[in-house]
Homo-oligomer: A and B are copies of this chain.
């Protein structure tokens, strides 16, 4: 038995999965925040995602990540995001370790996130992490040798959602420059619209915000976008900005955000999209929504070709395929 003393890690280099193209530009990197992306980064990600789209349309799946393993570590449930990453890995020929039971597991026995991540990277090549606490992904990435992809950490970041939102606009409308994007609904608590606004500020866009004052876009984000020279405008109803809108991004207004239930009842109807709403909209605009929806877009809108929210889910698959391939050195 040729056992030799090694006394060292088997894959000691930081972020060095087995047998990959270490020259690939995103090889071994973490995906933690939208703030890490330059405009040219986004161009590259979307090129790869577009290739993924074409490959899926043509052959469904392929073996680019065959033999690779994704640890899908969800400290809080998210069927949609979890399923999307699972499908992305499987369509690339890779495998998944699903870890959805964290609340019952050793983690809840008091194990720290760094220890959990360092254990899982012994088994997997990349870790997707969903966690209720802000900064969890950065903490995990600090300790992990393998790439961490942030799938949402509390009210913090959810970068792959923002990327898929932007990719949807690119694929649907062919460009981002020159567009008017109108965000509607709860703009205060939704990390989705915050991240998207930040990514959009890398382009030549105009952004409209439509919300009840109680859930308006936070001042600091408006200030941040303003420093990039992006024109922004605020409204409490959709009628004025709608005709110029190229992308209408709808989010849900949660009743619990209002201290006065009557106030909620008085405004909620103004933020529901129906076929009547869309009569005043451009013929080639698109309606987006991060889903799940609970009434803020009428099901009667679903058959309108401008309703892009289910296609948006499909674009999410392609973006996550691209990111997995990139950080594993295969794109």
Contacts and interface: CB of A to CB of B under 8 A. Distances in A.
Interface stretch (A106-114, A188-196, A222-230): A106-114
A153 to B, nearest CB: 18
A115 B293 contact: yes
A8 B79 contact: no
A27 to B, nearest CB: 14
A195 to B, nearest CB: 19
Contacts of A91: 67, 69
Given A97-B83, A111-B292, A125 B310 contact: no
Contact of A79 (B43, B66, B67, B105): B105
Interface in A15-69: 17-19, 43, 46-47, 50, 53, 56-62, 66-69
Contacts of A8: 305, 311
A178 interface: no
Interface stretch (A133-141, A154-162, A167-175, A200-208): A167-175
* Copies of this chain, whole number: 3
A294 B111 contact: yes
Interface string A91-127: 1010101111110111101111011101110111100
B80 A119 contact: yes
B99 A71 contact: no
A300 to B, nearest CB: 13
A21 to B, nearest CB: 13
Contacts of A233: none
Contact of A305 (B7, B80, B104, B311): B7
**Which bucket holds chain A's interface residue count?**
35 or more
A254 to B, nearest CB: 10
A201 to B, nearest CB: 19
A123 B87 contact: yes
B105 A294 contact: no
A78 B98 contact: no
Nearest to A18: B60
B174 A5 contact: yes
B293 A111 contact: yes
Given A60-B125, A125-B60, A90 B95 contact: yes
Contacts of A172: 5-7
Given A18-B58, A98-B98, A112-B299, 15 more contacts: A7-B172, A7-B284, A9-B311, A10-B314, A67-B91, A69-B90, A69-B91, A80-B105, A87-B97, A110-B294, A115-B292, A115-B293, A116-B292, A119-B291, A122-B310
